Chains A and B, each alone.
Chain A
Amino acid sequence: MNFMQQSSTQIKLKYLALALVTVFFLQGCSSDGSPRFKDVEEIEVSESTKGVICEVEEVEPGNEFKVIEEQVIDDKMASMAIVHNLDGTVDSVSLHKMKNDESSYRRSSVMRPFLMGTLAGTFFNRNMNRHSLDPSRYKSTDAFNKSKGMRSGIANSATTRRMKAPGKGSRGYGKGKSFRSFGG
């Protein structure tokens, strides 16, 4: 059939189909190409409103650190890690910057996972219910206990809010692959 001979109803149907395909692709991918939920639901999470200043000491060259002391502050956005390096230099790193721009601090890929097990982890880990302190990351039992006490204070002042949780679209990986073993 010649395109020019198509009825207006047929053309409308074609545009409708194109719009549906576009919506489908937009749902599957955010503007920066990263994955996102395709079928979003809401759950309740507990989120810290306080900030933390975490003072850290490098104990082995490269990647091993211990927390010397932590302090809770009111301004969450002012949260920072103060890192005493083995070579005598000190880095003051904004946690907000580290979170949003990994290149802002040369050791982000090591420091951020380390801080997850400290009080500073409450800055990164949005749901307080999923955060705990790791005593092995502290230089002393006193430092750990002090942070543990402060964690209760942070939890008490945390707010709860509804947030997006995965829906059906974020499952289904590996469908149709059960025909063979993937062990070795």
Chain B
Amino acid sequence: MARENHSARLEDNRFLESKIPKKKNLPLQLHWFLEEDYLSKEILGVYNHEVEQYRKIAENAYQVFVESTDKVLKNNELIRFGIPQRYHDLFHYSWNNRDKQPFLTGRFDINGVLNRVPGKVIEFNADTCSTLPETIFWQRIQCEKLGKGRGFNFLEESLEVVLKQIFDGINADYQPVFLGSSLGYPEDVQNVNTMLNLAGKQGFHPVYRDLPEVIFSEEGIFLEAGDDYTPVDVLFKLFPWDWVVNEEPELGDLLRSIILNEHAMVLNPFFTMLWQNKRFLSYISEQTASQDIAKTYSTRPSLSTYVEKPIYGRIGENVRVFHSGGQESSHGDYAHQSTVFQEYVENPIDQEDYTYQAGMFMVAHKAVALNYRTSKGDIITDDCEYFTHVVLDR
């Protein structure tokens, strides 16, 4: 379908180029990405005032997420979001204890801004947020090569502060174990390894295991070490809470017991299951007048242009963008899920028809790092490219 374009295209003079360093000079966490033709050698220039817009949108949206969560709890509405009754005490626990078992990090996807379309959050990757190695390592290395600052990127040091707080809070007279776990896809493993690298620097004993190798019981989380078991203090997981609850309920019951009995900390906390749910965006649209979050509806709206997406969909799968002249859609594994409908917020497009999707990392309530992914078409899927940015003065 031919794309309609109502906003100004990105100027060519925003784009800079840097050489891709040799693989042997890059951290191990980036090697898999190099093979995937995913890391762009081009760099996007973003102006200071645009960064400031992104930052304000993200921090305002975060505040709305917090206030709306309080409202959901006050009105006893968790069941409306498909969170089973038996997990409600866990939800309350994770929400009430978020100063001690904090939200590590998540990424708002924000459309608009660079094309002078008012920027809006289209979703919050709050539970299993990716693009950590690209942002922490690749973006920094490319910026250093170019010698034009570091971009808006304080993810590494912000995570180190939070991880240090967690380490100090455990106050153990032994080296606490920080286990990173995923379902084993190489990209997810490298995201976890990036977090483990930071946790190790704060004094944790970092360990990676694919989920099937991790031992769960009502006594805690354990790693097999010869004839013995090593108890885990913190589990950083890149498998989603919604998957645990809906597809591995036995594991869900064990994790519930482990967390409530404080045998181990599991991050991101359980409440991020609500933040990851796009039905929560429609709740926000019903309950607030936020201009920073794209209007989202639980039923099909009477708009000529809108987007339909699954409530727990990831990496742009099973998304449909409806235009007056037709629709663009993506395939994926989430076709069975309920969907929500969202106002269409146009993303910046360059002279070659590539769309730019901004992501703003949050650590606690602070916006700490910006990144971009780009692809042809409105839907940013797994086939996208990662784009480093630098901040330009104006």
Contacts and interface: CB of A to CB of B under 8 A. Distances in A.
Interface in A38-78: 43, 45, 63
A37 interface: yes
A83 to B, nearest CB: 16
A117 B251 CA distance: 25
B129 A170 contact: no
Interface in A125-184: 125-127, 130, 132, 134, 136, 163, 165-166, 170-175, 177-184
Interface in B309-323: 314-315
Interface in B187-227: 187-188, 191, 210-217, 219-220, 222
B172 A181 contact: no
Contact of A116 (B96, B262, B333, B382): B262
A132 B129 CA distance: 31
Range class of the B interface residue count: 35 or more
A132 B172 contact: yes
A181 B187 contact: yes
Nearest to A41: B229
Interface in A3-39: 34-35, 37
B253 A34 contact: yes
Number of chain A interface residues as a range: 35 or more
Contacts of B260: 112-113
A124 B92 contact: no
A179 B188 CA distance: 11
A102 B88 CA distance: 13
Interface stretch (B237-245, B283-291, B384-392): B237-245
B315 A173 contact: no
A90 interface: no
Interface in B33-74: none
Contacts of A184: 107, 125, 127-130, 276, 314-315
B97 A182 contact: no
Nearest to A108: B89
Contacts of A110: 92-93, 96
B92 A117 contact: no
Nearest to A37: B217
Contact of A183 (B100, B169, B191, B212): B191
A130 B220 contact: yes
A173 B100 CA distance: 27
B216 A171 contact: yes
A177 B183 contact: yes
Nearest to A35: B250
B182 interface: yes
A109 interface: yes
A182 B215 contact: no
B219 A174 contact: no
Contacts of B151: none
A174 B239 contact: yes
B183 A132 contact: no
Contacts of B262: 113, 116-117, 121, 125
A8 to B, nearest CB: 39
B152 to A, nearest CB: 21
B5 interface: no
B330 to A, nearest CB: 14
B142 to A, nearest CB: 21
B171 interface: yes
B310 to A, nearest CB: 12
Nearest to A126: B219
Contacts of B263: 125, 130
A35 B253 contact: yes
B261 A124 contact: yes
A180 B333 contact: yes
Contacts of A165: 217, 219, 222, 229
A36 B213 CA distance: 17
Query: Which residue among A37, A45, A180, A182 has the maximum number of chain B CB atoms within 10 Å of its CB?
Result: A182
A127 B382 CA distance: 45
Nearest to B253: A35
Contacts of A174: 183, 210-212, 239, 248, 251
Contact of A171 (B171, B182, B215): B215
A14 B99 CA distance: 58
A163 B218 CA distance: 12
Given A125-B261, A125-B262, A171-B213, A183 B130 contact: yes
A121 B260 CA distance: 12
Nearest to A124: B261
28 contacts: A35-B250, A35-B253, A45-B219, A63-B96, A110-B92, A113-B262, A116-B262, A134-B169, A136-B100, A166-B216, A166-B229, A171-B214, A171-B216, A173-B212, A173-B214, A173-B216, A177-B211, A180-B185, A181-B130, A181-B185, A181-B382, A182-B238, A182-B243, A183-B129, A183-B191, A183-B238, A184-B107, A184-B129
